[in-house]
Every structure is written in C-alpha cells, then in structure tokens.
A = this chain, B = another copy of it.
Amino acid sequence: MEFSSKLLENAVYEMSQLPGIGKRTALRLVLHLLKQPNERTVNLSSALLNLKDSIKFCKNCHNISDVVLCEICANPKRDRTLVCVVEDIRDVMALENTGQYKGLYHVLDGKISPMEGIGPQDLNIHSLVDKAKQGEIKELIFALSSTMEGDTTNFYIYKQLEGLDIKTSTIARGIAVGDELEYADEITLGRSILNRIPFEGSLKAN
C-alpha cells in the first residue's frame, strides 16, 4: 500500500498492529476518525492512555478494578469458599452475565503455552496456590478453555494443590442448550454422554 502522507501511513501502521485489523481496515478506521470532530480522536487516545497509565488489578482475584478490592471480592454476599479459575477478565464478565455464580474468581491472565513462551511464572498461579493454602477455599472450579493449553494449565494447578483439602471441579462440557445433537462435534457429544447428570439435576438448573 502506497501512502501519500507519512502521518497517515504511521497512523494506519499503528492501527493495523491491533489483532484482527488489517491494513485496509486500519485505513478505513483512520479515515473515519479524520472525518469526525477532533474530540473523537482526543477522547479515544486519552481513554487508552488513561487506562494504560492508571490500570489497577484487584489484589485478591487480579480482575481489572479501579479500587484495591474489586466489587466482586468486596461483596460480603459472595461465597468466599468457592473460587472459579478463569483465563481473563472477559470470562469473568461472561460468567457474571449468567447471574448463576455466587462465588469469587481468580483471573490467571492467560494459559500455560510453551509455544508462545508463557510459563506458570507468567501467570497468577502463585497467588492462587497461596490463597488455597490459607484454607478459606473449599472448592476450586476450573473454567479455562478446553484446549491443550487450558488442560495443561488446569493440570499444573491441580498438581500444586496436592495434599490440600480442596475440592476441584471443571465447568460442564456438553451440548449447548438449544443445539441439535446431530450437529455437535464428536468429542463434545462423547463427553456429554459420559458425564451425564441425573435427570432431577437438569430440572433444578432451570
């Protein structure tokens, strides 16, 4: 792509460094900003810079938070003996949206991935094990994605907890509610039949 202006080229380059944004999309976004009032660009830039400068993480669950303890951890109504281990804050938001979970979270901020050079020390695993050793947690729910990396991470944490009196569980994998059986992939269908639940249990969930 040949640009008529270095400033434009630079803005498009920086924009195209975002994931899933190619050069063409970047150009479209930049030209859109150019057509908008100045404050649009100023607001976007300052919002990003402010976030990056002042970002804080909850000292208990590592969720992004403006205060020392996030709303969830600070809420006395939440069950402190139940901790759900998730990959990033988007998972917290997704689970909170269901309104079904009343425990706390622990955000790992990624998965163990030798391919990407991410080891256990790069994640918030140490603080999780520390918390577990303090004895308040009764159950740990693994809600990582069911990929090789997710399974590795689950297993690593599981091994770290050995000897502690903590129940561990993973979220149920199975056919999505409303999905047709015939279109489900074989692994999911297989797991859903192996991990079948009592019929009365399925009634309770609704």
Contact = CB atoms under 8 A, between A and B. Distances in A.
Contacts of A42: 49, 52
Contact of A44 (B14, B40, B72, B88): B14
Given A4-B89, A17-B40, A42-B49, 5 more contacts: A1-B97, A7-B50, A11-B47, A15-B44, A34-B55
Interface of A: 1-8, 10-11, 13-15, 17-21, 25, 27-34, 38, 40-52, 54-56, 58, 63-66, 70-72, 88-90, 92-93, 96-97
Given A5-B64, A29-B18, A11 B41 contact: no
A105 B156 CA distance: 62
Nearest to A67: B5
